[in-house]
Amino acid sequence: MKLFEQPAHVLHDMLVNKEITSLELTEAVLARIDEVEGDVKAYLTITRDVAIAQAKAVDEKIAKGETISFLEGIPGAIKDNICTKGVKTTCASKILQNFVAPYDATVMTKLKAQNPVIIGKANMDEFAMGGSTENSAFQKTGNPWNTECVPGGSSGGSAAAVAAGTAVWALGSDTGGSIRQPASFCGVVGMKPTYGRVSRYGLVAYASSLDQIGPITKDVTDCAHILNIISGRDEMDSTSVNEEVPDFTKALVEDVKGLKVGIPKEYFVKGIDPDVEKTVREAIDKLKELGAEIVEISLPNTDYAISTYYLISPAEAATNLARYDGVSYGERAEDAADLVEMITKTRTQYLGEEVKRRIMIGNYALSAGYYDAYYLKALKVRRLIKEDFDKAFEQVDVIVCPTAPTPAYKIGEKISNPLEMYLQDACTVPLNLAGLPGISVPCGYSSDNMPIGLQIIGKALDEETILRVAYTYEQSQSYHNDRAQLGGN
Amino acid sequence: MSYEAVIGLEIHSELKTNTKIFCGCATTFGAEHNTHVCPVCLGLPGVLPTLNKRVLEFAIKAGLALNCEINKFSKFDRKNYYYPDLPKNWQTSQYDLPICENGYVDITKSNGETKRIRITRIHMEEDAGKLVHSGNTIKDSDTSNVDYNRTGVPLIEIVSEPDMSSPEEARLYMEKVKSILQYIDVSNCKMEEGNLRADLNVSLRPAGSDVLGTRTEMKNINSFKAVEEALTYEIERQEEVLEDGGHIIQETRTWDPDRGITLSMRSKENAHDYRYMPEPDLVPIITTDEEIEAFRKSLPELPDARKARLEEQFGLSAYDAGIITSSREMAEYFDAVIETGADAKLAANWIMGDLSKNLNAESLEISDSPVDAKRLGEMIGLISKGTISSKIAKKVFEEMWKSPDSPEKIVKDKGLVQITDTKAIEEIVDKVIEANQKAVEDYKSGNKKAIGALVGQVMKQSKGKANPQTVNQILAQKLG
């Protein structure tokens, strides 16, 4: 394997053993960018000079014989909705096209303490609204397995970079599947931790009660390591949970014997691609073969999850995005006669179609006379969905299902039909509504050789068990060693 | 037809915490524009609020002092509207689960009647910033700037039931609320700095009716005088409209204090739909019985209790005790004067009289009084001992106002000791009788009032130092 194809834990050992330098590694990744970024277009900002300087500093440290932490000197990508001090944070939106945050998100502070090499900021759907990264105001990212296909979204740039070898690891954010679904589409590992496990301070809000930052990596081992780094209570985020963070790498054991794995029948119905169903069923059989007990369960309110999600998330988004008014930061439209016109023109001109659609849905759902029928009802159904999971977890330890109902589709194929796009989120949004952790691991390919992901859902704050199941499954297969054929590779 | 006014108040009070409600920025008034700001109060992308615990403490204390129930489960909501002084374009406030509900205060009207004004709720919220226009208003300005220093300064909004029926009652209610907030030390209540301001709601209905009329609202009234004047004007205006057979339009009106009138600002058709929603970035506020009890125990003696104590302990009249306890500072000043051993009634009279007069003349707070409680107490002691007369005391007080000397020293230096020596007084009396034979005759021929002129002469010649009682006695004796 080439350097840029290796997972972080392998590279870390190579750095420690002085088989490579961080500079060599960083230059290999930058060279890979030169080679394939023109097709993949995973990055909105590339901080080449900063990356080289960071790499050199780490090498000096190693040369002095100092110990290095897990991510030290290893190049990664940050989704462009995570605030990075001094580097643009655009959310792939024209309204923030020149916005530079004067502060670091808490995850960035935690990461920077590890001295990783930050390659740049990854493309995404504008304000994380979308499932294909086609809603980026700047560029369409290609799926490294077939650049005519979408990488998924909204963390499409992060997933594509990791799959293309233009980043070893990445951070994404997941509001309704935005880490797991692109991980599934790009054949990499992506985890949405329990709501509150990772601080949201500095994550530009889409839907506050659903958003969560998580890792996108080449395998489950890297996922556990990065989760260790970014987790924990943050006084700047009152919704972050005040629970001790376990060492997630301790969960990396090959053993699922006696574990009860729930298979929700509602996740295998209408709209599911036959290749996806076949591949996921095979993965479930594999888990059974490895000693897990397979239990068919029911999550009866699953059908309502999408409607619920598409009321709650736009409602929160409508208020979260109200701040983009051109007054004190971001873009401002020219030639407005008065205040109302200034705000209206600014938002009309600088916000994208999908963002405007969700703002309008959200404001409608919160309006006097509609609040009870839409928003309040959605909150009630959200509770029912959570209760479904609570009940299921009385019987089982984890729940396993497809991450997405289809593999990656062609760029432009679904973008004109928002409703069809929304239905793609059926398997992922229920977790966000219930605040539960979920991971997507590669479990095979479609007939078109596009990756398919297996989703493993855990109880709240029990990322350990899903990591254990994911790791055991991963080690029984070799999908995590497969790489997209791209460029000269 | 005779009408009855129905008045309700929403009082906004800034809390005197050191830092803002959701971030660590200072709350100090009057700083240079945009110097007390950070990513959180500027509402930059990605920031999250965290609740300042002191705000919750102060809100709960206010609730307890205003006889409210404290909601053990409370939450914040987003009140959505676009205005440039609001960086997020929503105000973080409380909607359906405010921290306090169902309270009341009692007010005492000038006719001595006591009335209970119910409080619907108290909720916590953040203040907005301030617009600085190049012109007078946003409409006639070429440019407007925003000062975000005030953004995020903590507020409580105290919403009353429409229990007041006259401008006087509204003023007394607001005064009472101010006094209580100052007593419990949660707000500076400096009205000129906008620490305390009220939205006034008023409607009219035929006297005796229990149906509410259409109301109008006047926002951001920040003086007691304006509360009374604005309501008086608005009640008269509504009366005229109704008398002429017209209808009141539900609207927001502004009070123009210079012209003494209210003007239509915004009618209900243009009213905001605030699209309230629960604030997902803040966890619900859970308060335990133990915490509430601890806050209750930490409250100082409140105005009503203190007034009752002063009446009982010192025999002050209800009126005097009411004035003395109307502010915590004055009540504490009074207590400190008493501690020097001074007579309570004299203390009350001096505080309400010369001290208040001088403070008002120089626009000073009692806490900044040049004559502190200890010196006033000592001076009152000199009166009680007979060292100086009440009349001389006024001179001593004026000297004390200007100099830091003790009253004893002033009395000594200025030779103001009262003449109680009977012989010395007799000498003066003899001279006065000699020189004022006409008055003496008048007195002797039955005009007892003529003695006043003689006393006056004696006092004048003694430069006010003669003890007036002794003078009266001696004169009466000598004139037989």
Give me the mean pLDDT over the A73-77 stretch.
98
Contact A397, A118 (CB under 8 A): no
Residues of A in Cβ contact (< 8 Å) with B139: 338
Report pLDDT digits (tens) over B158-177: 999 999 999 999 999 999 99
* Distance (Å) of CA A46 to CA A87, A119, A203, B435: 10, 6, 19, 109
Mutate to test the interface with A, among B21, B139, B281 (most CBs of A within 10 A): B281
How is domain B422-479 classified at the CATH fold level?
Arc Repressor Mutant, subunit A (1.10.10)
Give me the mean pLDDT over the B309-322 stretch.
93
Rounded CA-CA distance B417/B288 in Å is: 62
Give me the mean pLDDT over the A211-219 stretch.
98
ipTM field? 0.95
The DSSP code sequence of A398-427 is: EEEEESSSS---BTTSSTT-HHHHHHTTTT
Report pLDDT digits (tens) over A326-374: 999 999 999 898 889 999 999 999 999 999 999 999 999 999 889 999 9
Tokens 């909501």: give the residue: B77
B44 at A interface, C-beta within 8 A: yes
For residue A489, what pLDDT is reported?
Answer: 61
On average, the pLDDT of chain B sits at 92
Provide the 8-state DSSP code for B129: -
Coil, strand or helix: which one is B107?
strand
Report pLDDT digits (tens) over B55-108: 999 999 999 999 999 999 999 999 999 999 999 999 999 999 999 999 999 999
Closest CA to A120 of A200, A38, A48, A225: A48
Closest CA to B149 of B17, B33, B13: B33
Q: Is the predicted pLDDT of residue B332 greater than 60, yes or no? A: yes
Q: Is the predicted pLDDT of residue B267 greater than 70, yes or no? A: no
Give me the mean pLDDT over the B240-246 stretch.
93
Q: Is the predicted pLDDT of residue A264 greater than 80, yes or no? A: yes
Mutate to test the interface with A, among B44, B79, B92 (most CBs of A within 10 A): B44
Residues of B in Cβ contact (< 8 Å) with A102: 39, 44
Which residues, at least 6 apart from B137, have a Cβ–Cβ distance to it below 8 Å?
none
Report pLDDT digits (tens) over B88-99: 999 999 999 999
Q: Is the predicted pLDDT of residue A95 greater than 70, yes or no? A: yes
For residue B268, what pLDDT is reported?
Answer: 59
Report pLDDT digits (tens) over B441-464: 888 888 878 888 888 888 888 887
Rounded CA-CA distance A323/A350 in Å is: 13
DSSP-assigned beta bridge partners for residue B164: B7
Give me the mean pLDDT over the A407-426 stretch.
92
Q: Is the predicted pLDDT of residue B419 greater than 80, yes or no? A: no
Do the Cβ atoms of A99 and B87 come within 8 Å? no
Domain with CATH 1.10.10.410 in chain B: 422-479
Residue that wins the pLDDT comparison between A196 and B429 = A196
Query: Is A18 an active-site residue?
Result: no
Rounded CA-CA distance A193/A178 in Å is: 12
For residue A57, what pLDDT is reported?
Answer: 97
Give me the mean pLDDT over the A435-456 stretch.
98
Reading phi first (left if > 0) and then psi (alpha if -120 to 50, else beta), residue B423 is in: alpha
Closest CA to B374 of B323, B340, B334: B340
Rounded CA-CA distance B28/B19 in Å is: 8
Q: Is the predicted pLDDT of residue B48 greater than 70, yes or no? A: yes
Sheet with B196-206: list strands edge to edge: B69-70, B100-108, B114-126, B154-160, B3-14, B196-206, B216-221, B251-256, B261-267
Q: Is the predicted pLDDT of residue B269 greater than 60, yes or no? A: no
Of A239-253, A314-328, B313-327, the range with the lowest mean pLDDT is B313-327
Coil, strand or helix: which one is A49?
helix
Provide the 8-state DSSP code for A376: I
The share of chain A scoring above pLDDT 90, in percent, equals 95
B247 at A interface, C-beta within 8 A: no
- Work out how many CB contacts closer than 8 A connect A with B: 101
A115 confidence band (pLDDT: 50, 70, 90): very high
Contact A229, A222 (CB under 8 A): no
A291 confidence band (pLDDT: 50, 70, 90): very high
- Helix ranges (H only) for A231-304 are 274-289
Say how many residues make up chain B: 480
Contact A161, A120 (CB under 8 A): no
Tokens 């997020």: give the residue: B88
B407 confidence band (pLDDT: 50, 70, 90): very high
Which residues, at least 6 apart from A301, have a Cβ–Cβ distance to it below 8 Å?
A381, A384, A385, A388
For residue B442, what pLDDT is reported?
Answer: 85
Contact A312, A382 (CB under 8 A): yes
Contact B37, B25 (CB under 8 A): yes
**Residue in A22, A132, A154, A199 annotated catalytic:** A154
On average, the pLDDT of chain A sits at 97
Report pLDDT digits (tens) over A373-414: 999 999 999 999 999 999 999 999 999 999 999 999 999 999
Q: Is the predicted pLDDT of residue A269 greater than 80, yes or no? A: no
A283: amino acid identity, one letter = A
Complete domains list, chain A, with CATH = 3-264+394-481 (3.90.1300.10)
Rounded CA-CA distance B353/B38 in Å is: 48
Give me the mean pLDDT over the B8-37 stretch.
96
Residue A132 corresponds to which tokens in the numbers above?
């294909």
For residue B466, what pLDDT is reported?
Answer: 81
Rounded CA-CA distance A178/A192 in Å is: 9
Cα-based torsion angle of the residue sequence B287, B292, B294, B298 in order, rounded to the nearest 10 degrees: 130
Of A119-128, A141-150, B19-28, B192-201, the range with the lowest mean pLDDT is B192-201
B426: amino acid identity, one letter = E
Residues of B in Cβ contact (< 8 Å) with A325: 82, 84, 89
A16 confidence band (pLDDT: 50, 70, 90): very high
For residue B271, what pLDDT is reported?
Answer: 66
Give me the mean pLDDT over the B294-301 stretch.
96
B134 confidence band (pLDDT: 50, 70, 90): confident
B336 confidence band (pLDDT: 50, 70, 90): very high
Rounded CA-CA distance A361/A260 in Å is: 40
Residue A109 corresponds to which tokens in the numbers above?
């502070």
Rounded CA-CA distance B453/B450 in Å is: 6
